[in-house]
Structure 1
């Protein structure tokens, strides 16, 4: 039995197909809706603008070596971040980000594990030990290396 060998272009095309599938999941749809709601929320937008201004101030104070000023600005930043994080839609957005990242990690792990297992199986290796056939053959006494 001969196994079909794939080209990089074929693999990339399949990856784009999978990416399209992921982009059209409930998780991604929820992420997009939550992001749109955040962008429509004036209070959140204003707090994010304040946060960006304070972050620039913190960088400027650090360059000037004004440690007390940096500390005060960092405290203000932390307070605004807490206020933003307390908004329910922000919590939902962060959860949806996590869900999408988990989905991407799941796909990545499935690919990595399947590739590893197929290499082990195709070389007559041992899946339970995670060893390829060549490793097993070369570790047996009396084998030529």
Structure 2
């Protein structure tokens, strides 16, 4: 009879001495920890500051309200089949959007969004690449196994 050797890990689960077996809850706990780190990053802080400025900017908020109103008008005219009015309102929305985009504060906000997206994509890439490397190394092959009986 063999004696199982192991210990209780930091998450309160039994692990062997050679390699800790990580469960779904362990992974989710680490993901939550990573999310917390990201939420306190410089990129997120910059985004939050830019978002607050946007929310307090009267002209930007007025333009956004006008666009939303015009989008509702488009829906109404589409239901009536009035293509001419839909095209006219779409052109008005485009002008309003151009005006919003010309405000430096909006460009700053959009840049901060882009920086957060880049950070998140980088994190996803690192996780994907690291997992892929570990799977290939542990499996001992880069190619899938051949089918049995062929």
Query: Which structure: greater helix fraction?
Result: 1
Quote the offset at 1:61 in angstroms: 0.7
Partner of 2:11: none
- Structure 2 length as normaliser, TM-score? 0.83
Residue 108 of structure 1 pairs with residue 110 of structure 2: no
2:135 pairs with 88, 94, 119, which one? Answer: 119
1:12 pairs with 28, 44, 52, which one? Answer: 28
Moved over 6 A (4+): none
1:53 pairs with 40, 63, 69, which one? Answer: 69
1:28 pairs with 30, 38, 44, which one? Answer: 44
Partner of 1:42: 58
| Unmatched tracts of structure 2, length 5 or more | 1-16
Partner of 1:81: 97
* Number of matched pairs: 134
Quote the offset at 1:3 in angstroms: 2.6
| Unmatched tracts of structure 1, length 5 or more | 126-130
Partner Cα distance (1:72, 1:44) in 2: 22
Q: How much is the aligned-residue C-alpha RMSD, in angstroms?
A: 1.9
Quote the offset at 1:123 in angstroms: 1.6
Partner Cα distance (2:77, 2:87) in 1: 9
Partner Cα distance (2:36, 2:88) in 1: 45
Partner of 2:83: 67
